[in-house]
Amino acid sequence: MKVVIVASQKGGSGKTTLAGHLAVAAELSGAGPVVLIDADPQGSLSDWWNERESDVPAFAHTSASNLARDLETLQNQGFEYAIIDTPPAIVSAIQAIVMHSDLVVIPTRPSPHDLRAAAATVNIVERCGKRLVFVINAATERARLTAEAAIALSQHGMVAPVNIHNRVDFASSMIDGRTVMEIAPESRSAKEIMELWEYVRTKAEYRANKTIFQGGLQSHSTPPPRRVFGRRVGDHRLDQSADSVVVTRTE
């Protein structure tokens, strides 16, 4: 199971919206089954998922301390991808989650303040020895600042070749648990998300096979140091003793 984490220490970066959209895009592209995991105590992704009519992607709510165990359970259930929304600002929690990633997606708005704030998230990812990709989010089309943001971010890691532009359909689709691909599948916004997912998928499935040591090159199976499932209302908890992932509901 590939684990894609959407992380940013700065609030308002659009990570929850992006996590939900990437999960739906993954299902639409045939990469599933996909499970969305909400590791943010605010539960914004949980609220969005509870408004959905569709049963996919699956959903889990967990915490940093239980994540390793819950990921193993989900993998045993046959999920191909886990996409995790993380809390903002809490460095220790983000780092504990990033340790389990195959790829960390860092959404960044093209503003000087957001670019400066991205450095803190990059530091966490690099300390964990994980790979990252920046996604320029809420961009203005043909704006000089968007191009400048891409140049600045490229000094610190990969930048996705697809920008997500600032359009009202992203926010409006999240109101009732949908995505732009579901309300307007032929729209430019839907096309951007689907293209971004294909790029993210390629990067998440990448496996480095060489690591440089002082004595030369040696085969290595890990990436180079560079850069709970259910339905509707209630607490979503993983039952570790069961043969399948279940939901405990509260009315």
Which of the two residues, 84 and 229, has the higher pLDDT score?
84
26: pLDDT strictly greater than 80: yes
Question: Average pLDDT of the chain?
Answer: 84
Instruction: Report pLDDT for 235.
Output: 42
Confidence category of residue 207, pLDDT binned at 50, 70, 90 = low
pLDDT tens figures, 218-227: 333 444 333 3
Amino acid identity of residue 30, one-letter, is: G
Which burial class, exposed, middle or buried, applies to 105 when counting CB atoms under 10 A from its CB (0-12, 13-18, 19+)? Answer: buried
pLDDT tens figures, 163-198: 999 999 998 999 999 999 999 999 999 999 999 999
Instruction: Report pLDDT for 110.
Output: 93
pLDDT tens figures, 133-151: 999 999 998 888 899 999 9
Q: How many CB atoms lie within 10 A of CB 149?
A: 24
- Most trustworthy range by pLDDT among 49-63, 72-86, 215-229: 72-86
Q: Give yes or no for a contact between 157 and 134, defined as CB atoms under 8 angstroms apart.
A: yes
Angle, helix 15-28 to helix 188-204, in steps of 10 degrees: 80
The full set of domain ranges for the chain reads 2-219
Range in 62-66, 126-130, 134-138, 212-216 with the lowest mean pLDDT: 212-216
Confidence category of residue 245, pLDDT binned at 50, 70, 90 = very low
Instruction: Report pLDDT for 131.
Output: 95
| Percent with pLDDT over 90 in the chain | 66
What's the mean pLDDT in 38-44?
A: 89
238: pLDDT strictly greater than 70: no
What's the mean pLDDT in 50-73?
A: 92
What is the SS3 string spanning the chain?
CEEEEECCCCCCCCHHHHHHHHHHHHHHCCCCCEEEEECCCCCHHHHHHHCCCCCCCEEEECCCCCHHHHHHHHHHCCCCEEEEECCCCCHHHHHHHHCCCCEEEEEECCCHHHHHHHHHHHHHHHHCCCCEEEEEEEECCCCHHHHHHHHHHHCCCEECCCCEECCHHHHHHHHCCCCHHHHCCCCHHHHHHHHHHHHHHHHHCCCCCEEEECCEEEECCCCCCCCCCCCCCCCCCCCCCCCCCCCCCCC
Which burial class, exposed, middle or buried, applies to 237 when counting CB atoms under 10 A from its CB (0-12, 13-18, 19+)? Answer: middle
Instruction: Report pLDDT for 180.
Output: 97
132: pLDDT strictly greater than 90: yes
| Domain topology for 2-219 | Rossmann fold (3.40.50)
Instruction: Report pLDDT for 25.
Output: 98
128: pLDDT strictly greater than 50: yes
Instruction: Report pLDDT for 218.
Output: 37
Which of the two residues, 64 and 51, has the higher pLDDT score?
51
Strands 164-165 and 132-139, sheet pairing: parallel
| Percent with pLDDT over 70 in the chain | 82
Instruction: Report pLDDT for 63.
Output: 81
